[in-house]
């Protein structure tokens, strides 16, 4: 006998908590195989094709293209045949993280009926005997059941825990007695399910006891919105009887229209939102400082020309600068580190995973070259080319966008000489390279026209002082001016 299974948006790793549906790869009624990609989503880090761990017939899809779903929200339902009592995960790779088997098997009980766009959907009540509210409107963000496609002709039968439906009411919809309680929950024993470590840290930093929150996510999962609502509730002033209500905070009021004919509001989401969050966090947490120096890059340019004239793969200028960076970090390891704020420790790293800034149509991304310290110029050139192309096509995986230890920022491609970049949190430093242009320069005691570049180093002042930062930058400049200096460490 066929069974209808619900496939939820999986955890794509690296702290990602939501994704936007870009393109459906299957239609209702299509037959899918195990681990067949069924939907393309855009996270804050990359475009990802999500494979389904079930094989069968697609009976319903949840969410139109452009809909943003949190991790754990239903994506689609699949009618499958008989399954083994304990299904195993396929073991195939899901964007570098692998599909997984369900964490625990739920006891089947009698189902009650809810609705999705007016069609009957069976949902199981939980073991505690709580039934779901029939026909209650679901939270468009948390579950998105109200946006199930109308092309699902037959009623979909979905087995899902009632607690997911019990928490699915929006703030503007009064819940029925069977729905989740809005009063604080009693403290419980054991770990509290939280959607991501960032949400747990937000609660810890603000003194919120997660054990007293009722999670609005699936199975009572605590979302970021739950913690933020608790913080707003604590900050709200207490009024006595007869006291006039205070004005709503300005941040809650809708923004006034622009005086000069209005304007356009652009949501900070996807890559743009991730960049905004990360840069804001870097500015809040890292006491950065910047030093810079002009360098004569004429000899470096000649050395590159000679390398490329010798045959073989062409060597990029970025690869040579990366090789100089890794040599400098070997001499000044303080800059290849990060600060563990909770432990109040500086963590020095043995491997150099070099990030480089790349501007794409989707926004600024920082792909990471793994083990850059162990690569030569040819290998670095090839890896830069591969990651740059993946960035342009939007096919970088989360693993290729995270884990950097030091960043190289070649803003000279924009035709500018200098910059004071923001450090890529939680790294400790970033080397900036301006454009290389002909300028008058004193060379061997005479005025000459040389190829000059401005180099800047922005560093976390917690990991080192100016002497270390200046020493690193001076070493880089010396290698740019006299590439033969690198021969000492080759």
pLDDT of residue 86: 42
Q: What is the pLDDT of residue 359?
A: 84
What single-letter DSSP state applies at residue 381? H
Name which residue leads in pLDDT, 200 or 82: 200
Confidence of residue 489 (pLDDT cuts 50, 70, 90): low
Query: Does the structure show a pLDDT above 50 at 155?
Result: no
**If we measure between CA atoms, which residue out of 171, 72, 157 comes closest to residue 122?**
157
What single string gives the DSSP state of each residue in 3-17? EEEEEEPP--STT--
| CB-CB neighbours of 389 under 10 Å | 11
Are 85 and 23 within 8 A, CB to CB? no
| Banded model confidence at residue 191, pLDDT cuts 50, 70, 90 | low
What is the reported pLDDT for 253? 46
Query: How far is residue 105's CA from residue 90's CA, in Å, rounded to a whole number?
Result: 17
Residue 327 CB neighbour total at 10 angstroms: 18
Q: Provide the pLDDT confidence category of residue 268 given band limits of 50, 70 and 90.
A: confident
Least confident of 149-163, 300-314, 358-372, 439-453: 149-163
pLDDT (0 to 100) of residue 260: 59
H or E stretch including 209? Answer: none
373 among known catalytic residues: no
Residues 391, 84: Cα–Cα separation, whole Å: 41
Query: Minimum mean pLDDT among 86-95, 336-345, 464-473: which range?
Result: 86-95
The predicted-structure confidence for 380-438, as pLDDT tens digits, reads as follows 999 999 999 998 888 888 889 889 999 999 998 889 998 888 999 999 999 999 999 99
Q: What pLDDT does 256 receive?
A: 53
* Rounded Cα distance, 378 and 308, in Å: 11
Please, which residues bridge with residue 19 across strands? 69
pLDDT of residue 466: 93
CA 36, CA 184: separation in Å to the nearest integer? 42
Q: Is 299 helix (H, G, I), strand (E, B) or coil?
A: helix
CA-CA distance, 58 to 27, in Å (whole number)? 7
Contacts of 267 (CB under 8 A, 6+ apart): 273
Residue scoring higher pLDDT (365 or 181): 365
Q: At what angle do helices 377-393 and 317-331 cross, to 10 degrees?
A: 120
CB 39 within 8 A of CB 50: yes
Which of the four pLDDT bands, split at 50, 70 and 90, describes residue 45? low
Report helix, strand or coil for 147.
helix
Q: Give Cα 344 to chain centroid, integer Å.
A: 25
Least confident of 182-186, 256-260, 399-403, 409-413: 182-186
94 against 489, higher pLDDT: 489
Give the highest mean pLDDT range of 18-32, 111-125, 454-468. 454-468
Q: Which residues, in sequence order, are CB contacts of 88 under 8 Å at separation 6+?
A: 101
The whole-number pLDDT of residue 14 equals 53
For the chain, helix, strand, coil in percent to 5 are 25, 25, 50
- Mapped to the 3 state alphabet, what secondary structure does 330-366 carry? HHCHHHCEEEECCCCEEEECCCCCEEECEEECCEEEC
Percent of the chain with pLDDT over 90: 39
Task: Give CA–CA dist 405/354, Å, rounded.
Answer: 6
Mean pLDDT over the full length of the chain: 76
Answer yes or no: 425 catalytic: no
Range with the poorest average pLDDT among 234-248, 277-291, 365-379, 444-458 = 234-248
H or E segment and range at residue 18? strand 18-24
Averaged over 329-358, what is the pLDDT? 95
Catalytic residue, from 151, 460, 465, 478: name it: 465
Among 110-124, 184-198, 220-234, 277-291, name the one with the lowest average pLDDT: 110-124
pLDDT at 162 exceeding the cut of 50? no
- pLDDT over 70 percentage in the chain: 68
Q: Are 335 and 406 in contact (CB under 8 A)?
A: yes
Q: Is 214 exposed, middle or buried (0-12, 13-18, 19+ CB in 10 A)?
A: middle
Q: What pLDDT, in 10s, does the model give residues 215-252?
A: 887 777 788 788 888 887 876 655 544 455 444 444 44
User: In this predicted model, which residue has the larger pLDDT, 116 or 439?
Assistant: 439
Residues 381, 320 contacting (CB under 8 angstroms): no
* Model pLDDT, residue 197: 55
From 117, 340, 376, 461, the catalytic residue: 461
Helix (H, G, I), strand (E, B) or coil at 440: strand
362 token code pair: 């989707």
């Amino acid at each position: 006998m066929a069974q209808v299974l619900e496939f939820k948006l999986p955890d794509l790793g690296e702290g990602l908590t939501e994704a936007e549906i870009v393109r459906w790869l299957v239609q209702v009624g299509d037959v899918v195989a195990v681990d067949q990609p069924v939907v393309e989503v855009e996270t804050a880090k990359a475009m990802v094709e999500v494979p389904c761990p079930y094989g069968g017939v697609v009976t319903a899809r949840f969410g139109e293209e452009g809909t943003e779903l949190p991790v754990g929200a239903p994506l689609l339902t699949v009618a499958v045949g008989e399954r083994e009592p304990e299904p195993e995960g396929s073991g195939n790779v899901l964007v570098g993280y692998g599909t997984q088997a369900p964490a625990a098997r739920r006891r089947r009980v009698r189902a009650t009926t809810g609705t999705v766009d007016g069609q009957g959907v069976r949902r199981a009540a939980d073991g505690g005997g709580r039934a779901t509210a029939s026909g209650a409107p679901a939270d468009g963000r948390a579950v998105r059941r109200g946006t199930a496609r109308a092309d699902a002709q037959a009623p979909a039968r979905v087995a899902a825990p009632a607690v997911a439906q019990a928490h699915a009411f929006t703030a503007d919809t009064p819940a029925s007695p069977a729905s989740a309680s809005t009063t604080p929950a009693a403290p419980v024993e054991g770990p509290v399910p939280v959607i991501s470590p960032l949400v747990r840290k937000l609660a810890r930093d603000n003194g919120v006891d997660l054990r007293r929150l009722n999670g609005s996510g699936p199975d009572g999962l605590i979302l970021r919105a739950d913690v933020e609502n608790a913080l707003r509730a604590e900050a709200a002033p207490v009024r006595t009887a007869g006291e006039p209500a205070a004005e709503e905070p300005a941040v809650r009021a809708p923004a006034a229209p622009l005086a000069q004919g209005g304007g356009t509001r652009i949501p900070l989401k996807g890559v743009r939102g991730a960049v905004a969050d990360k840069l804001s966090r870097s500015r809040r947490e890292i006491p950065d400082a910047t030093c810079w120096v002009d360098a004569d890059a004429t000899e470096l340019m000649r050395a590159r020309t000679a390398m490329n004239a010798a045959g073989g793969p062409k060597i990029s200028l970025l690869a040579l600068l990366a090789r100089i960076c890794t040599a400098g970090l070997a001499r000044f390891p303080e800059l290849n580190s990060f600060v563990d704020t909770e432990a109040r420790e500086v963590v020095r790293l043995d491997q150099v995973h070099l990030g480089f800034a790349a501007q794409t149509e989707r926004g600024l991304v920082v792909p990471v070259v793994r083990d850059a310290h162990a690569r030569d110029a040819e290998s670095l050139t090839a890896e830069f080319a591969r990651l740059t192309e993946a960035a342009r096509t939007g096919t970088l995986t989360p693993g290729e966008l995270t884990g950097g230890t030091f960043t190289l920022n070649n803003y000279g491609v924009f035709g500018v000489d200098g910059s004071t970049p923001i450090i890529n949190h939680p790294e400790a430093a970033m080397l900036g390279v301006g454009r290389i242009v002909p300028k008058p320069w004193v060379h061997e005691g005479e005025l000459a026209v040389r190829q000059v570049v401005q180099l800047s180093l922005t560093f976390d002042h917690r990991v080192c002082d100016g002497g270390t930062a200046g020493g690193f930058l001076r070493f880089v400049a010396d290698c740019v001016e006299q590439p033969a200096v690198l021969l000492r460490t080759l």
